[in-house]
Chain A
Amino acid sequence: MEIPYTVAERPDTGLNNGKIGIWLFLASEVMLFGALFATYLMMRTGAVTWPRGDSILNVPLATLNTVVLISSSVTMVMAWASLKRNNFAKFRLFQGLTVLAGFGFLTIKYIEYSHKFELGLFPSTNTFLAIYFTLTGLHGLHVIGGMAINAYLWGPGSKLWKTDPEHFTNRVENSGLFWHFVDLVWIFLFPVLYLL
């Protein structure tokens, strides 16, 4: 017996297995980042003084990063839509752009981090920097994870397109959901850490 509903949708739930799986995974991710945002709140409300984000952090670079990451979400959707329209060449283009945008984001983040380290600002300096490095560091790890999956689907993983295009399209959709989530976390991180 084969495992049912790996590609086709189960009639009464209207979903395939992978789609439910990725949403459940995202639910647990919400709890993970939720706990860290709660930590941010506890640190900030318990502190005697709390610096404004823009007095320590580089707001223009972070704004640029926001633009880069949102653009990558757009290209991610375009990649999936290209597959839906049976245009594999366009998928390669947009998926490649998504991965490149991830690289761009990490490069800018690297510039930010190394500048902080040059100034002698570390997680041990104060709790603001501690939560800044923890949240952005964990988010950075998620970006790397998302890029790895997207790069796999761009390269060796795309062989599946030839044998089972629908299954492959679903995979791109699910990795896209994860990528949008990573984007969304940044949309929260940016104002909380840099602007407030």
Chain B
Amino acid sequence: MATTELAPAHAGAAHDHEHAEHPELGFWRKYVFSTDHKVIGIQYAVTGLLFLLFGFCLVMLMRWQLAFPGRALPLIGKLFGEARMPGGSMLPEFYNELGAMHGTIMVFLGVVPLAVGGFGNFVLPLQIGAPDMAFPKINMASYWSYFLGGITMLGSFFVPGGAAQSGWTSYAPLSVIAGEGQTIWLIGMIFLITSSLLGSINFIVTTVQLRAKGLSYFRLPFFCWAQLVTSFLLLLAFPPLEAAGILQLMDRLAGSSFFMPSGLVVSGQALAYTGGGNPILWQHLFWFLAHPEVYVLILPAFGIVAEVVANNTRKPLFGYKIMVYSLWFLGFMSFVVWAHHMFFTGMGTTMATFFQTTTMIISIPSVALLTSLLISLWGGSIRFTTPMLFALAFLPMFGIGGLTGLPLGLSAADIPLHDTYYVIGHFHYVVAPGTLFALFAGIYYWYPKATGRMMSEKLGKVHFWPSLIFINGIFMPMFIQGLAGVSRRLYDGGASYDFAKEVTHWNVFMSMSAWGLALAQIPFIINFFWSIKHGKKVGDNPWQATTLEWVAPSPPPHGNFLTPPEVYRGPYEYSVPGHPTDYTPQFQLEQKAS
């Protein structure tokens, strides 16, 4: 008979929260300018959530204009001033401002900081059994650089002419001749790029160097792999955007012509640029970042979903190694597909063929990941906890987002679809009900580790079901409108086009769904704050999980573990035959009786 015995690492289960070697820090060092990865992770997560809410508010304003073009916005419309919403009805310039800043804020200030800065910082060192990140001070600098970038972006709303209006992609030459807001946008981006550079170096070094004893690479939880590959993408893809940002700043401030073609005439006026530049160069440099960025948005989500799925099906992940290899292949391939965003620029067929081929190839590892997670459900005794509901919803939602992307990867199908709402529907399915749902799953899943208390399951379900319905109500009709040919760049939602008459009634439906989605977040916000004080108190391992973060006390003290943890097995040993419980933690030493 096999008998189990707790490993020495786990033996000190009686929690002693006192730590002689870490003297109490003052309030500012402990909660504000902290170098503790957990505090930084929570700072990132909370700031990211606030920016997500702000970015969502921007788009809700846009949805009013799309549903009821030109009509005055009741109650709050007048607050935006005569320059933006005279009499409460929106000007096109303000609509452009909202659109550009919605994209920028959601991607660079919301999702990535929450997925990488928040979850990565909080969970990664715990999962690999490290006392902290490898460079705690650089970690703090990373957060504050992000914070400055966020403040800069918010501040740009108050400069003359308003914030950036050239889309989150800031295509030249429009962005070069745009108002002051664009310069502020570029400066803000440089802060954000610096932040993610510092963060990604930290993540890679931490994963390589600070793994606990016995934690070989193939015993790493899948979440760690996802963060590692994501960090490499951030490390190598962001610098070209920084270069592009510098070049655009040069064009705007020093009058150079990197992105300005010869003989450009705007509103009948020849511009004072010498020309000779190439506007397509901006797109190349931008998408060289922004395609890997798509995977930066989705890979941490896969990591979270994998943890939650393995834990709630009570069985090992199907094809763990295949998933890891897929991840690396995906990361590598994401650097050679960028021009599929640019079929519209009239590139030659040779170029288009290359990028179509790589795009079709990159869908293979994505499908492998999704299929592995799907098969992981098979034969499991599934617990339908709130994190699991979000993780389960992620699978079909990401599936819809991914499959609708295939036609966009082929030049011939992309050209009629590219400028329509179809594209908006496609990538929002990946990022909103995809990544965001995974992030919610992560919040519900790791909340007890961060606070020692569970979030309310009841409120969690009240959050989940309406969110799922409303979010589909927003994005599904976009495919209908897109296939009918409605352009995604119209400020009146297609009302001025005859051919769009058949489908414009969906605009009201989508806007109602968006506002409904906002209401559906109220239970989450209440749950998030209420549970800090009133949630059900739980022990260190409320989900009966196997990975290392669950051996640390909840919440973990400075330095994380009471004794250095040691690892004896793979990450997902659930329902091992002959074992008395249905989970065998990585830190548990099992000895056979002789």
B201 within 8 A of A: yes
B278 within 8 A of A: yes
When the two chains form their complex, are residues A17 and B131 in contact, meaning their CB atoms are under 8 A apart? no
B155 within 8 A of A: no
Please judge, given known A-B contacts A42-B278, A127-B276, A130-B258, whether A5 and B210 are in contact too, CB under 8 Å. Answer: yes
B264 within 8 A of A: no
When the two chains form their complex, are residues B559 and A34 in contact, meaning their CB atoms are under 8 A apart? no
Residues from 78 to 118 in A contacting B, C-beta threshold 8 Å: none
B257 within 8 A of A: yes
A31 within 8 A of B: yes
Binds A, one of B77-85, B235-243, B456-464: B235-243
Cα–Cα distance between A13 and B134 once the two chains are bound (Å): 15
A3 within 8 A of B: yes
Cα–Cα distance between A122 and B251 once the two chains are bound (Å): 12
When the two chains form their complex, are residues B205 and A24 in contact, meaning their CB atoms are under 8 A apart? yes
B564 within 8 A of A: yes
Chain A window 15-33, contacts with chain B (Cβ cutoff 8 Å), 1 for yes, 0 for no: 1110011001101110111
Cα–Cα distance between A17 and B209 once the two chains are bound (Å): 7
Cα–Cα distance between A102 and B242 once the two chains are bound (Å): 25
A119 within 8 A of B: no
When the two chains form their complex, are residues A46 and B134 in contact, meaning their CB atoms are under 8 A apart? no
CB within 8 A of A35: which of B136, B200, B204, B243? Answer: B243
Chain B window 255-284, contacts with chain A (Cβ cutoff 8 Å), 1 for yes, 0 for no: 111100000000000000110111001001
CB within 8 A of A43: which of B202, B255, B277, B559? Answer: B277
B106 within 8 A of A: no
Query: What residue in chain A is nearest B241 (Cβ atoms)?
Result: A35
Please judge, given known A-B contacts A3-B131, A27-B236, A31-B240, whether A20 and B209 are in contact too, CB under 8 Å. Answer: yes
When the two chains form their complex, are residues B135 and A126 in contact, meaning their CB atoms are under 8 A apart? no
Cα–Cα distance between A21 and B137 once the two chains are bound (Å): 13
Chain B window 553-574, contacts with chain A (Cβ cutoff 8 Å), 1 for yes, 0 for no: 0000001110010000000000
Cα–Cα distance between A77 and B239 once the two chains are bound (Å): 28
B75 within 8 A of A: no
- Would you give the shortest CB distance from B15 to chain A, in whole angstroms? 16
A148 within 8 A of B: no
Please judge, given known A-B contacts A17-B135, A20-B209, A43-B277, whether A35 and B256 are in contact too, CB under 8 Å. Answer: no
B197 within 8 A of A: yes
Interface magnitude class on chain A: 35 or more
Query: What residue in chain B is nearest A50 (Cβ atoms)?
Result: B276
Cα–Cα distance between A35 and B44 once the two chains are bound (Å): 29
When the two chains form their complex, are residues A35 and B250 in contact, meaning their CB atoms are under 8 A apart? no
> Which residues of the partner chain B approach A10 to less than 8 Å between Cβ atoms?
209
When the two chains form their complex, are residues B256 and A130 in contact, meaning their CB atoms are under 8 A apart? yes
- Would you give the shortest CB distance from B288 to chain A, in whole angstroms? 7
> Which residues of the partner chain A approach B242 to less than 8 Å between Cβ atoms?
32
Query: What residue in chain B is nearest A134 (Cβ atoms)?
Result: B250
Cα–Cα distance between A48 and B276 once the two chains are bound (Å): 8
CB within 8 A of B247: which of A6, A20, A134? Answer: A134
Please judge, given known A-B contacts A3-B131, A39-B258, A127-B258, whether A46 and B240 are in contact too, CB under 8 Å. Answer: no
CB within 8 A of B276: which of A2, A24, A47, A133? Answer: A47
A55 within 8 A of B: no
- Would you give the shortest CB distance from A45 to chain B, in whole angstroms? 10
CB within 8 A of A130: which of B237, B250, B560? Answer: B250
Cα–Cα distance between A23 and B367 once the two chains are bound (Å): 33
When the two chains form their complex, are residues A17 and B205 in contact, meaning their CB atoms are under 8 A apart? yes
Please judge, given known A-B contacts A1-B559, A28-B235, A35-B288, whether A124 and B256 are in contact too, CB under 8 Å. Answer: yes
Query: What residue in chain A is nearest B242 (Cβ atoms)?
Result: A32
CB within 8 A of B246: which of A3, A31, A129, A138? Answer: A138
Cα–Cα distance between A50 and B560 once the two chains are bound (Å): 60
Please judge, given known A-B contacts A3-B136, A24-B235, A124-B274, whether A32 and B208 are in contact too, CB under 8 Å. Answer: no
When the two chains form their complex, are residues A3 and B210 in contact, meaning their CB atoms are under 8 A apart? yes
Query: What residue in chain B is nearest A9 (Cβ atoms)?
Result: B209
B293 within 8 A of A: no
B254 within 8 A of A: yes
Cα–Cα distance between A5 and B277 once the two chains are bound (Å): 48
B285 within 8 A of A: yes
A123 within 8 A of B: yes
> Which residues of the partner chain A approach B201 to less than 8 Å between Cβ atoms?
21, 24-25, 28
Cα–Cα distance between A130 and B237 once the two chains are bound (Å): 24
When the two chains form their complex, are residues A1 and B560 in contact, meaning their CB atoms are under 8 A apart? yes
B97 within 8 A of A: no
When the two chains form their complex, are residues B210 and A134 in contact, meaning their CB atoms are under 8 A apart? no
> Which residues of the partner chain A approach B564 to less than 8 Å between Cβ atoms?
1
Please judge, given known A-B contacts A1-B559, A5-B209, A21-B201, whether A36 and B131 are in contact too, CB under 8 Å. Answer: no
A163 within 8 A of B: no
When the two chains form their complex, are residues B240 and A123 in contact, meaning their CB atoms are under 8 A apart? no
Please judge, given known A-B contacts A3-B131, A3-B136, whether A35 and B239 are in contact too, CB under 8 Å. Answer: yes
- Would you give the shortest CB distance from B504 to chain A, in whole angstroms? 41
Cα–Cα distance between A178 and B240 once the two chains are bound (Å): 19
Cα–Cα distance between A126 and B257 once the two chains are bound (Å): 7
Cα–Cα distance between A36 and B236 once the two chains are bound (Å): 14
When the two chains form their complex, are residues A13 and B208 in contact, meaning their CB atoms are under 8 A apart? yes
B115 within 8 A of A: no
When the two chains form their complex, are residues A127 and B243 in contact, meaning their CB atoms are under 8 A apart? no
When the two chains form their complex, are residues A35 and B244 in contact, meaning their CB atoms are under 8 A apart? yes
A156 within 8 A of B: no
B307 within 8 A of A: no
> Which residues of the partner chain B approach A46 to less than 8 Å between Cβ atoms?
276, 278
Cα–Cα distance between A130 and B136 once the two chains are bound (Å): 39
- Would you give the shortest CB distance from A69 to chain B, in whole angstroms? 22
When the two chains form their complex, are residues A1 and B247 in contact, meaning their CB atoms are under 8 A apart? no
> Which residues of the partner chain B approach A120 to less than 8 Å between Cβ atoms?
none
B414 within 8 A of A: no
When the two chains form their complex, are residues B256 and A134 in contact, meaning their CB atoms are under 8 A apart? yes
Cα–Cα distance between A124 and B130 once the two chains are bound (Å): 52
Cα–Cα distance between A16 and B210 once the two chains are bound (Å): 10
Cα–Cα distance between A24 and B242 once the two chains are bound (Å): 17
B132 within 8 A of A: yes
When the two chains form their complex, are residues B209 and A13 in contact, meaning their CB atoms are under 8 A apart? yes
> Which residues of the partner chain B approach A24 to less than 8 Å between Cβ atoms?
200-201, 204-205, 235
A60 within 8 A of B: no
Query: What residue in chain B is nearest A49 (Cβ atoms)?
Result: B276
Chain A window 59-75, contacts with chain B (Cβ cutoff 8 Å), 1 for yes, 0 for no: 00000000000000000
When the two chains form their complex, are residues B250 and A28 in contact, meaning their CB atoms are under 8 A apart? no
When the two chains form their complex, are residues A39 and B247 in contact, meaning their CB atoms are under 8 A apart? yes
When the two chains form their complex, are residues A122 and B240 in contact, meaning their CB atoms are under 8 A apart? no
- Would you give the shortest CB distance from B240 to chain A, in whole angstroms? 4
Chain A to chain B contacts (Cβ below 8 Å), 20 pairs: A3-B132, A3-B133, A3-B134, A3-B136, A5-B209, A5-B210, A20-B209, A34-B240, A35-B240, A36-B247, A43-B276, A46-B276, A48-B276, A123-B256, A127-B276, A130-B254, A133-B254, A133-B256, A134-B256, A134-B258
Known: A43-B278, A133-B256. 18 other contacts (CB 8 A): A1-B131, A3-B130, A3-B133, A6-B134, A15-B209, A20-B209, A21-B202, A24-B200, A24-B201, A28-B197, A31-B240, A36-B243, A42-B281, A48-B276, A125-B274, A127-B257, A130-B256, A133-B250
Q: Which 9 A-B pairs have the closest CB atoms?
A: A124-B255, A130-B256, A1-B131, A35-B243, A32-B239, A35-B240, A31-B239, A123-B256, A123-B254
